[in-house]
Amino acid sequence: MHTVKRNLHPAGEEGQALVLVIFLILALGLLSPLLLDTMTSSAAQSNNALVQSHAHAAADAGINAYVAKLLNDTQYYTHYVAPGEATRQSGANTVSSVLPPAAPTPWPSGYGTSWTYASKNAWVDLGNGYSYDLEITAPQTGSNHTNFVLITSTGKSNLATAAANNRQVVQMLMRPASIADFQMFSKGSVCYGDGANTNGKIYTQGNLYYSGTAYADLNAEQNIYLPPTSARSGDPCSTSGQNNTGRLISPAVQYNSSNIRSAPELATKPDFSTFQVSLVNIKRAAQNAKGIYLTNGTTTSTSPPSAWQISFNSNGTLTYKSCRKTANPVQSTQPTCDGSVSNQGAVLGTDCSVSACAGSGTVAMPTNGAIYSDQTVIIAGGTSSCLSGGVSGGPTGSYVALTNASCVKGRVSIASGADIVMADDSGYVTPGQDVLGLLANNNFYIASWIPSNSSLNWSGASLAENGSWGQPSGVPNGKFDTMYHEGSIAQLQMGNGMQMFDTRYYNYDPNLLYLQPPWYPTLPNPYQVLLYRNLPNAS
């Protein structure tokens, strides 16, 4: 029997496996550069992404560093060129920044609020291989038409080999929310009579009794009482007609205990005790940072001054004089302010000592915007001409010219360890660029001895930290014709009102939404962010 053998390897197939191996080797040889390029490109992209991520974090660090400065001084950008901020140019004026830990470079108020940057040249090294550079645009200047300060921060790698497009640029538009956002801000209940006209927001942690005409929101932690027209002749602080809306002019609305937390800027109930920090900061700045510190005296040869009188001059200076009061308080009877209480005088930053200073003088406005007095401060004795927005006509009034007034040129806050007394017309040389803050540890008064023109026209943001805002005790109602005020008012409790004027116009100064007084108190939610974005890397 024959056994047939099968051929398991047909003829012609010998060497195919070797050919396949050769083709595979050739294919891999051809593809390997592409695979290597792909892997290299992927690694590069991953590295670039990592660099960009770290550069973005560095840019954010710059934003956060600047916000921290604004928390302590809402007008920081008008006072200093920050460490890490690029060199500013304003006309022929150039101010370079410094690097931490050096102190910031002062920005003179005379250089204005508009500037440019030639280049990014103040890189702050974060110590992790990355740096940031800042550029700041003040509100309502240049291309920034908002009430928000524009912060531009650029982050980059410190490596020379890092590509320029690995930089990251972050922008934020933000503004501080402060008590200067309100026409009236009070812990105690507030009462407005039928002669009142208000075009700024009002807030109280008590009840609000309102018989005037309101062109802006009314806010109360408790109740709002808007008596009907028939009740105007009665007690303005009555509970008649609760929540009647006849006193509000659209678009004004009211927020009371049922919906106050939904009111703009009032998501958190403010704590008045935190506002004291602003007075402490102003005192420190007046003593240690070239501010103006008016002392109560340290010698015993004469009695300390009863008060300090300050008048602002339209040329950018201010005049101070020590005062001697009569038997009556300085808000009730005009004191003698002639600077005769010498050797008790002003300490002007570090420019002179107590024993070397006279009781009067004329000096430049402090570059840091801080004036502090241990004694009561009286605003009076002005001889300049300027403008005020305190006019009749509700929210659409225009500026009026003042003469023989106290005229502010610059940005300044006055804090008193006692009271502040307004006894003179006052205004701004350039509204929208100049601003005045008046912070009293105790009470804020309108003097009962104002000039005999039977009216008072003044501008400024005012605070009675531990007291009230209003007229002195014992002044008869209707003693004067009209008070025109443009600015804001804050107080711990309701005072004696302003019934000594037949008519009172409380015009809110809209410039306070972006030009707040230096060192002025902020609210619990201090910043509102309008915009946060990344710009193209080449910016």
Highest mean pLDDT among 10-24, 232-246, 361-375: 361-375
pLDDT score of 353 = 37
* Low-confidence winner among 176-190, 296-310, 469-483 (lowest mean pLDDT): 296-310
Does 478 score more than 50 pLDDT?
yes
pLDDT score of 354 = 38
pLDDT score of 235 = 60
Residue 162 binned pLDDT confidence (cut-offs 50, 70, 90): low
Please state the separation of Cα 3 from the chain's center in Å: 108
| pTM of this structure | 0.76
In eight-state DSSP terms, residue 18 is H
Q: Do the Cβ atoms of 346 and 295 come closer than 8 Å?
A: yes
Residue 18 binned pLDDT confidence (cut-offs 50, 70, 90): confident
Residue 238 binned pLDDT confidence (cut-offs 50, 70, 90): low
Please state the separation of Cα 122 from the chain's center in Å: 25
Separation between Cα atoms, residue 377 and residue 310, nearest integer Å = 7
Residues 312-330, mean pLDDT to the nearest whole number? 92
Structure tokens at 117: 């940057």
Separation between Cα atoms, residue 183 and residue 167, nearest integer Å = 44
Q: Do the Cβ atoms of 424 and 450 come closer than 8 Å?
A: yes
Does 292 score more than 80 pLDDT?
yes
Q: What is the pLDDT of residues 354-377, one digit of tens each?
A: 334 567 888 888 888 889 998 999
Q: What is the pLDDT of residues 42-70, one digit of tens each?
A: 555 566 778 888 999 999 999 999 988 88
Q: What is the pLDDT of residues 418-440, one digit of tens each?
A: 999 999 999 999 988 899 999 99
pLDDT score of 343 = 46
Share of the chain above pLDDT 70, in %: 80
* Low-confidence winner among 6-10, 309-313, 352-356 (lowest mean pLDDT): 352-356
Q: Rg of the chain over CA atoms, in angstroms?
A: 33
Does 13 score more than 60 pLDDT?
no
pLDDT score of 239 = 63
Residues 131-150, mean pLDDT to the nearest whole number? 89
Please state the three-class secondary structure of 154-206 as a single string. Answer: EEEECCCCCCHHHCEEEEEEEEEEEHHHCCEEECCCEEECCCEEECCCEEECC
Residue 316 binned pLDDT confidence (cut-offs 50, 70, 90): very high
Share of the chain above pLDDT 90, in %: 36
pLDDT score of 285 = 85
Residue 95 binned pLDDT confidence (cut-offs 50, 70, 90): very high
* Low-confidence winner among 148-162, 239-253, 284-298 (lowest mean pLDDT): 239-253
Phi, psi of 209 (to 5 degrees): -105, 115
Does 342 score more than 80 pLDDT?
no
pLDDT score of 498 = 84
Residues 66-82, mean pLDDT to the nearest whole number? 85
pLDDT score of 428 = 95
Mean pLDDT over all residues of the chain?
82
Residues 268-276, mean pLDDT to the nearest whole number? 87
Does 244 score more than 60 pLDDT?
no
pLDDT score of 146 = 84
The label of the residue with tokens 């609760």 reads: 242
